[in-house]
């Protein structure tokens, strides 16, 4: 219910969210659950004009494809910090604000990046398999590569990149980075391209956003620059990585090993990656703790509650600034 106006506010929810978000949304809005409809297209025709806000997730994909049917929607609240599945500029042209869920997931994603790094270098899953399979009875596990003496290159020095860098500081390694801009006051070496960063590093952690601008930013040139002792950790998006080049680089020993949380075509992982033992493969679980996923789900709901309470969005994406500029408090939710 929009308490100010005393009329129900209709929200379209494209995909399931966690119970914490369901409860908050149900309490205040009339929620239309698209994934439960047998004929989604027909359902949208019926209820579309009445919809004023959208709650969505990465799983739904390109939400812009249904915006023509939602002419009165003014806000898209998306689960996840990455929002490359939404064309936020197109939304802005339609006068629609987009929100995502930054900050609340930084620590868990950074923890996972460090865990994946150590698991890859010290071959923790492989060593676990050595014990479980009984092979320890026939001999010790072989010696592994190390973090010691490595320079860690961080590709992307935003919220999560900084949280990862802070954790690596505790491991006593040198840290370098590349992003579009050099940041004043950061005590890490800046490199002006991904290739230059890889050449200066022997462990590359990728944490830039996905989308067209970063597609295949990590290509064969970057992998060659990382070198035969180099290790790649990707906790960003599969699209950032030229996956075919990665397979080739690993098979040919152009780099030593990799730890991956994300893939080009999730949940499909190429058989050639699955076949290699110098890889640690995770199923996109960077933020996947109960604590963090609940915080993300709550923020999806809170953005809608704040907007329809006339207080504006809590965490709008940069492309939505143009929509928000010029809006006064009184016309924020019109």
Burial 205-230 (b: 16+ CB within 10 A, else e): bbbbbbbeebeebbbeebbbbbeeeb
Task: Measure the CA dihedral 114/117/120/122, to 10°.
Answer: -80
Residue 79: name its binding partner from ligand NAP, ligand 8YV, none (Cβ under 5 to 8 Å by kind): ligand 8YV
Whose Cβ is closer to ligand 8YV: residue 1's or residue 62's? 62
User: Is residue 113 packed enough to be buried (19+ CB in 10 Å), middle (13-18) or exposed (0-12)?
Assistant: buried
Query: Is the bond preceding 267 in cis, omega lying within 30 degrees of 0?
Result: yes
Q: Does 287 bind ligand 8YV (CB under 6 A)?
A: yes
Q: Does 10 bind ligand 8YV (CB under 6 A)?
A: no
- Residues noted as catalytic: 237, 266, 284
Token pair for residue 333? 């939710």
Q: Measured between alpha carbons, how far is residue 62 from residues 37, 58, 310 in Å?
A: 18, 8, 27
Please, which of residues 217-236 interact with ligand NAP by CB under 6 A?
235-236
Q: Does 260 bind ligand 8YV (CB under 6 A)?
A: no
- The least CB distance from residue 54 to ligand 8YV, in Å, is 15
Q: Does 207 bind ligand NAP (CB under 6 A)?
A: yes
Which residue in 237, 257, 263, 297 binds ligand NAP (CB under 6 A)? Answer: 237
Residue 208: name its binding partner from ligand 8YV, ligand NAP, none (Cβ under 5 to 8 Å by kind): ligand NAP
The H or E element that residue 302 is part of is helix 290-308
Q: Which region, judged by CB under 6 A, interacts with ligand NAP, from 14-22, 90-98, 174-182, 245-253? A: 174-182
**DSSP calls for 54-123:** EEEEGGG--GGGGGGG-TT--EEEEESS--TTS-HHHHHHTT-EEE---STTHHHHHHHHHHHHHHHHTT
Please, which of residues 151-180 interact with ligand 8YV by CB under 6 A?
none
Q: Which region, judged by CB under 6 A, interacts with ligand 8YV, from 42-50, 57-65, 113-121, 270-278? A: 57-65
Q: Where are the beta strands (DSSP E) in the chain?
A: 10-13, 30-33, 51-57, 75-79, 97-99, 151-155, 174-178, 189-190, 203-206, 231-234, 257-260, 279-281
Residue 240: name its binding partner from ligand NAP, ligand 8YV, none (Cβ under 5 to 8 Å by kind): none
Whose Cβ is closer to ligand NAP: residue 46's or residue 89's? 89
Q: Measured between alpha carbons, how far is residue 124 from residues 36, 115, 129 in Å?
A: 41, 10, 9
Q: Does 280 bind ligand NAP (CB under 6 A)?
A: no
Which residue in 29, 60, 79, 308 binds ligand 8YV (CB under 6 A)? Answer: 79
Q: Does 109 bind ligand NAP (CB under 6 A)?
A: yes
Residue 315: name its binding partner from ligand 8YV, ligand NAP, none (Cβ under 5 to 8 Å by kind): none
HSE, CB side, 13 Å, CA atoms: give it for residue 246. 30
Q: Does 56 bind ligand 8YV (CB under 6 A)?
A: no
Binding-site ranges for ligand 8YV (CB under 6 A): 57-59, 79-82, 105, 284, 286-287
Binding-site ranges for ligand NAP (CB under 6 A): 81-82, 102, 105, 109, 156-161, 179-181, 207-210, 213-214, 235-237, 261-262, 284, 286-287
């Amino acid at each position: 219910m929009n308490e100010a106006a005393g009329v129900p506010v209709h929200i379209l929810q494209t995909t399931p969210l966690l119970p914490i978000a369901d409860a908050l949304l149900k309490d205040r809005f009339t929620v239309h659950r698209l994934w439960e409809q047998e004929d989604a297209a027909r359902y949208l025709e019926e209820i579309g004009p009445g919809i004023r806000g959208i709650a969505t997730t990465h799983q739904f994909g390109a939400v812009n494809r249904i915006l023509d049917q939602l002419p009165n929607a003014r806000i898209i609240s998306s689960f996840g910090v990455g929002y490359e599945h939404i064309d936020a500029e197109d939304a802005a042209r339609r006068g629609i604000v987009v929100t995502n869920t930054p900050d609340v997931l930084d620590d868990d994603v950074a923890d996972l990046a460090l865990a994946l790094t150590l698991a890859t270098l010290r071959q923790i899953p492989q060593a676990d398999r050595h014990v479980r399979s009984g092979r320890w009875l026939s001999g010790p596990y072989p010696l592994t590569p190390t973090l010691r003496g490595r320079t860690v290159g961080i590709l992307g020095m935003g919220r999560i990149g900084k949280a990862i860098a802070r954790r690596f500081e505790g491991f006593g390694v040198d840290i370098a980075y590349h992003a579009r801009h050099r940041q004043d006051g950061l005590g890490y070496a800046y490199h002006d391209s991904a290739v230059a960063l890889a050449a200066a590093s022997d462990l590359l952690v990728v944490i830039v956003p996905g989308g067209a601008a970063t597609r295949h930013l990590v290509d064969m040139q970057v992998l060659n620059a990382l070198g035969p002792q180099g290790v790649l950790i990707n906790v960003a998006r599969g699209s950032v990585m030229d996956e075919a080049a990665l397979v080739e680089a690993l098979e040919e020993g152009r780099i030593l090993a990799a730890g991956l949380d994300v893939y080009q075509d999730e949940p499909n992982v190429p058989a050639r990656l699955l076949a290699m033992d110098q890889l640690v493969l995770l199923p996109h679980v960077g933020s996947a703790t109960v604590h963090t996923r609940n915080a993300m789900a709550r923020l999806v709901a809170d953005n809608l509650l704040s907007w329809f309470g006339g207080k504006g969005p809590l965490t709008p994406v940069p492309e939505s600034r143009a929509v928000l500029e010029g809006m006064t408090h009184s016309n924020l939710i019109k």
